[in-house]
A and B are shown apart, each in its own frame.
Chain A
Amino acid sequence: SAVISQKPSRDICQRGTSLTIQCQVDSQVTMMFWYRQQPGQSLTLIATANQGSEATYESGFVIDKFPISRPNLTFSTLTVSNMSPEDSSIYLCSVVLQGGAGELFFGEGSRLTVL
Protein backbone atom coordinates (compact mmCIF):
# COMPACT_ATOMS: atom_id res chain seq x y z
CA SER A 1 0.00 0.00 0.00
CA ALA A 2 0.95 3.67 -0.05
CA VAL A 3 0.14 6.95 1.61
CA ILE A 4 -1.81 9.21 -0.73
CA SER A 5 -2.00 12.71 0.75
CA GLN A 6 -4.32 15.41 -0.47
CA LYS A 7 -4.31 19.07 0.48
CA PRO A 8 -6.51 20.79 1.43
CA SER A 9 -8.74 18.19 3.06
CA ARG A 10 -11.60 20.67 2.99
CA ASP A 11 -12.23 24.28 2.07
CA ILE A 12 -15.00 26.79 1.76
CA CYS A 13 -14.68 28.94 -1.31
CA GLN A 14 -16.38 31.95 -2.78
CA ARG A 15 -18.13 31.83 -6.11
CA GLY A 16 -15.87 32.86 -8.99
CA THR A 17 -12.60 31.94 -7.29
CA SER A 18 -10.27 29.05 -8.12
CA LEU A 19 -8.72 26.44 -5.85
CA THR A 20 -5.83 24.07 -6.43
CA ILE A 21 -5.80 20.63 -4.81
CA GLN A 22 -2.52 18.80 -4.38
CA CYS A 23 -1.96 15.05 -4.35
CA GLN A 24 1.31 13.50 -3.17
CA VAL A 25 2.07 9.78 -3.09
CA ASP A 26 4.89 8.22 -1.10
CA SER A 27 5.44 5.33 -3.54
CA GLN A 28 6.10 5.01 -7.23
CA VAL A 29 2.97 5.31 -9.29
CA THR A 30 2.13 4.19 -12.80
CA MET A 31 -1.16 6.01 -13.24
CA MET A 32 -2.96 8.89 -11.53
CA PHE A 33 -6.56 9.92 -11.90
CA TRP A 34 -8.85 12.60 -10.52
CA TYR A 35 -12.43 11.73 -9.57
CA ARG A 36 -15.33 13.84 -8.38
CA GLN A 37 -17.97 12.68 -5.92
CA GLN A 38 -20.95 14.98 -5.63
CA PRO A 39 -22.97 14.79 -2.39
CA GLY A 40 -24.66 11.40 -2.08
CA GLN A 41 -23.49 10.33 -5.53
CA SER A 42 -21.08 7.92 -7.14
CA LEU A 43 -17.55 8.61 -8.34
CA THR A 44 -17.12 10.27 -11.72
CA LEU A 45 -13.80 10.28 -13.51
CA ILE A 46 -12.62 13.78 -14.39
CA ALA A 47 -9.33 12.98 -16.11
CA THR A 48 -6.19 10.92 -16.29
CA ALA A 49 -3.18 12.91 -15.10
CA ASN A 50 -0.32 12.24 -17.51
CA GLN A 51 3.24 12.84 -16.41
CA GLY A 52 4.81 15.76 -18.22
CA SER A 53 1.97 16.23 -20.69
CA GLU A 54 -1.61 17.40 -20.88
CA ALA A 55 -4.20 15.41 -18.97
CA THR A 56 -6.75 13.26 -20.78
CA TYR A 57 -10.24 14.49 -19.94
CA GLU A 58 -13.47 12.52 -19.85
CA SER A 59 -16.60 13.63 -21.60
CA GLY A 60 -18.13 16.62 -19.84
CA PHE A 61 -14.87 17.88 -18.34
CA VAL A 62 -12.58 20.44 -19.95
CA ILE A 63 -9.09 21.73 -19.31
CA ASP A 64 -10.17 25.36 -18.85
CA LYS A 65 -12.40 24.38 -15.93
CA PHE A 66 -10.20 21.65 -14.41
CA PRO A 67 -6.55 22.24 -15.30
CA ILE A 68 -4.36 19.37 -14.12
CA SER A 69 -0.62 19.11 -13.75
CA ARG A 70 1.58 16.10 -13.09
CA PRO A 71 5.21 17.24 -13.11
CA ASN A 72 6.53 13.91 -11.83
CA LEU A 73 5.41 10.37 -11.12
CA THR A 74 4.23 10.96 -7.55
CA PHE A 75 2.66 14.45 -7.55
CA SER A 76 -0.33 16.00 -9.25
CA THR A 77 -2.55 19.05 -8.88
CA LEU A 78 -6.15 19.67 -9.87
CA THR A 79 -7.46 23.21 -10.10
CA VAL A 80 -11.17 23.93 -9.97
CA SER A 81 -11.54 27.23 -11.81
CA ASN A 82 -14.16 29.94 -11.60
CA MET A 83 -16.12 27.95 -9.05
CA SER A 84 -19.89 27.90 -8.71
CA PRO A 85 -22.04 26.16 -6.07
CA GLU A 86 -22.45 23.22 -8.50
CA ASP A 87 -18.73 22.51 -8.03
CA SER A 88 -19.31 21.67 -4.35
CA SER A 89 -18.04 18.10 -4.20
CA ILE A 90 -15.39 15.81 -2.90
CA TYR A 91 -12.43 15.62 -5.27
CA LEU A 92 -10.39 12.43 -5.02
CA CYS A 93 -6.94 11.67 -6.28
CA SER A 94 -6.45 8.01 -7.15
CA VAL A 95 -3.42 6.00 -8.18
CA VAL A 96 -2.27 2.68 -9.55
CA LEU A 97 0.95 1.72 -7.79
CA GLN A 98 4.06 0.51 -9.56
CA GLY A 99 4.70 -3.12 -8.76
CA GLY A 100 1.11 -3.68 -7.67
CA ALA A 101 -1.57 -5.80 -9.25
CA GLY A 102 -3.30 -2.88 -10.95
CA GLU A 103 -5.61 -1.93 -8.09
CA LEU A 104 -6.79 1.66 -7.78
CA PHE A 105 -6.25 3.38 -4.43
CA PHE A 106 -7.80 6.65 -3.32
CA GLY A 107 -6.54 9.64 -1.40
CA GLU A 108 -8.55 10.97 1.53
CA GLY A 109 -10.37 13.42 -0.71
CA SER A 110 -10.75 17.18 -0.69
CA ARG A 111 -14.22 18.41 0.27
CA LEU A 112 -15.01 21.74 -1.40
CA THR A 113 -17.99 23.88 -0.53
CA VAL A 114 -18.67 26.82 -2.83
CA LEU A 115 -20.85 29.61 -1.49
Chain B
Amino acid sequence: GENVEQHPSTLSVQEGDSAVIKCTYSDSASNYFPWYKQELGKRPQLIIDIRSNVGEKKDQRIAVTLNKTAKHFSLHITETQPEDSAVYFCATGGNTGKLIFGQGTTLQVKP
Protein backbone atom coordinates (compact mmCIF):
# COMPACT_ATOMS: atom_id res chain seq x y z
CA GLY B 1 0.00 0.00 0.00
CA GLU B 2 0.95 3.65 0.04
CA ASN B 3 3.75 4.48 2.44
CA VAL B 4 5.55 7.68 3.40
CA GLU B 5 8.75 7.49 5.45
CA GLN B 6 9.97 10.65 7.18
CA HIS B 7 13.37 11.28 8.77
CA PRO B 8 14.61 12.28 11.23
CA SER B 9 11.96 11.82 13.92
CA THR B 10 13.58 14.55 16.04
CA LEU B 11 15.91 17.36 15.05
CA SER B 12 17.61 19.90 17.28
CA VAL B 13 19.42 22.88 15.78
CA GLN B 14 20.92 26.10 17.01
CA GLU B 15 19.09 29.30 16.13
CA GLY B 16 20.32 30.57 12.78
CA ASP B 17 21.31 27.13 11.50
CA SER B 18 19.52 25.27 8.73
CA ALA B 19 17.21 22.29 9.17
CA VAL B 20 16.47 19.60 6.61
CA ILE B 21 13.73 16.98 6.82
CA LYS B 22 13.45 14.19 4.25
CA CYS B 23 10.61 11.99 3.08
CA THR B 24 10.43 9.03 0.75
CA TYR B 25 7.28 7.57 -0.74
CA SER B 26 6.24 4.42 -2.52
CA ASP B 27 3.26 5.33 -4.71
CA SER B 28 4.48 6.41 -8.13
CA ALA B 29 1.05 7.95 -8.83
CA SER B 30 1.67 10.63 -6.18
CA ASN B 31 1.81 14.07 -7.74
CA TYR B 32 1.30 16.45 -4.82
CA PHE B 33 3.72 16.89 -1.90
CA PRO B 34 2.73 19.30 0.89
CA TRP B 35 4.40 20.06 4.19
CA TYR B 36 2.49 20.89 7.37
CA LYS B 37 3.60 22.52 10.60
CA GLN B 38 1.80 21.62 13.81
CA GLU B 39 2.40 23.60 16.96
CA LEU B 40 1.50 22.07 20.29
CA GLY B 41 -2.25 21.82 20.75
CA LYS B 42 -3.03 23.31 17.34
CA ARG B 43 -4.19 22.05 13.97
CA PRO B 44 -1.72 21.21 11.20
CA GLN B 45 -1.05 24.24 8.98
CA LEU B 46 0.10 24.01 5.38
CA ILE B 47 3.43 25.81 5.00
CA ILE B 48 4.55 24.89 1.50
CA ASP B 49 3.71 22.41 -1.21
CA ILE B 50 5.10 21.24 -4.51
CA ARG B 51 3.63 19.44 -7.47
CA SER B 52 5.36 16.89 -9.60
CA ASN B 53 5.91 19.18 -12.54
CA VAL B 54 8.53 21.21 -10.63
CA GLY B 55 11.70 20.22 -8.80
CA GLU B 56 12.03 23.02 -6.27
CA LYS B 57 9.90 25.70 -4.69
CA LYS B 58 10.94 28.41 -2.26
CA ASP B 59 9.00 30.72 0.03
CA GLN B 60 11.22 33.05 2.06
CA ARG B 61 13.14 30.85 4.53
CA ILE B 62 11.53 27.57 3.54
CA ALA B 63 12.03 25.50 0.43
CA VAL B 64 10.97 22.10 -0.80
CA THR B 65 12.83 19.94 -3.31
CA LEU B 66 11.40 16.97 -5.16
CA ASN B 67 13.12 14.06 -6.90
CA LYS B 68 10.36 12.05 -8.55
CA THR B 69 12.72 9.50 -10.01
CA ALA B 70 14.06 8.61 -6.58
CA LYS B 71 10.65 9.18 -4.93
CA HIS B 72 11.89 11.54 -2.27
CA PHE B 73 11.31 15.15 -1.29
CA SER B 74 12.77 17.39 1.37
CA LEU B 75 11.94 20.45 3.43
CA HIS B 76 14.69 23.00 3.99
CA ILE B 77 14.43 25.74 6.61
CA THR B 78 17.19 28.33 6.63
CA GLU B 79 18.09 30.82 9.37
CA THR B 80 15.96 28.93 11.88
CA GLN B 81 14.23 30.84 14.65
CA PRO B 82 12.76 29.61 17.96
CA GLU B 83 9.25 30.04 16.54
CA ASP B 84 10.10 27.39 13.94
CA SER B 85 10.00 24.84 16.77
CA ALA B 86 7.09 22.49 16.03
CA VAL B 87 6.23 19.11 14.56
CA TYR B 88 6.54 18.99 10.78
CA PHE B 89 4.68 16.47 8.63
CA CYS B 90 5.27 15.63 5.01
CA ALA B 91 2.47 14.14 2.95
CA THR B 92 1.78 12.76 -0.50
CA GLY B 93 -1.35 13.00 -2.58
CA GLY B 94 -2.70 12.07 -5.96
CA ASN B 95 -5.83 12.83 -7.90
CA THR B 96 -8.21 11.63 -5.16
CA GLY B 97 -7.46 14.64 -2.97
CA LYS B 98 -6.64 12.55 0.08
CA LEU B 99 -3.21 12.78 1.70
CA ILE B 100 -1.00 10.14 3.28
CA PHE B 101 1.21 11.58 6.02
CA GLY B 102 4.71 10.81 7.19
CA GLN B 103 5.42 10.05 10.82
CA GLY B 104 6.42 13.61 11.69
CA THR B 105 9.62 15.38 12.75
CA THR B 106 9.87 17.28 16.02
CA LEU B 107 12.09 20.30 15.36
CA GLN B 108 13.61 22.14 18.29
CA VAL B 109 15.41 25.41 17.63
CA LYS B 110 17.61 26.41 20.54
CA PRO B 111 18.05 30.13 21.16
Contacts and interface: CB of A to CB of B under 8 A. Distances in A.
B interface bracket (residues with beta carbon within 8 Å of A): 20 to 34
B103 A42 contact: yes
A33 B91 CA distance: 15
Interface in B59-111: 89, 91, 93, 96-104
Contacts of A103: 34, 46, 49
Contacts of A107: 43
Given A92-B43, A104-B99, A43 B89 contact: yes
Interface string B20-53: 0000000000001010000000111110010000
A102 B98 CA distance: 10
Contacts of B44: 43, 92, 106
Contacts of A108: 42-43
A96 B97 contact: yes
Count chain A CB atoms within 10 A of each CB in B89, B97, B101, B102 and give the residue with the most.
B97
Contacts, number: 46
Nearest to A106: B43
A48 interface: yes
Determine chain A's interface SS by DSSP, over half rule.
Answer: strand
A42 B101 CA distance: 7
A48 B102 CA distance: 19
B98 A45 contact: yes
B43 A109 contact: yes
A31 interface: yes
Interface of A: 30-31, 33, 41-45, 48, 59, 92, 96, 102-109
- 9 nearest interchain CB pairs? A31-B97, A106-B43, A43-B101, A42-B101, A42-B103, A42-B104, A96-B97, A106-B44, A108-B43
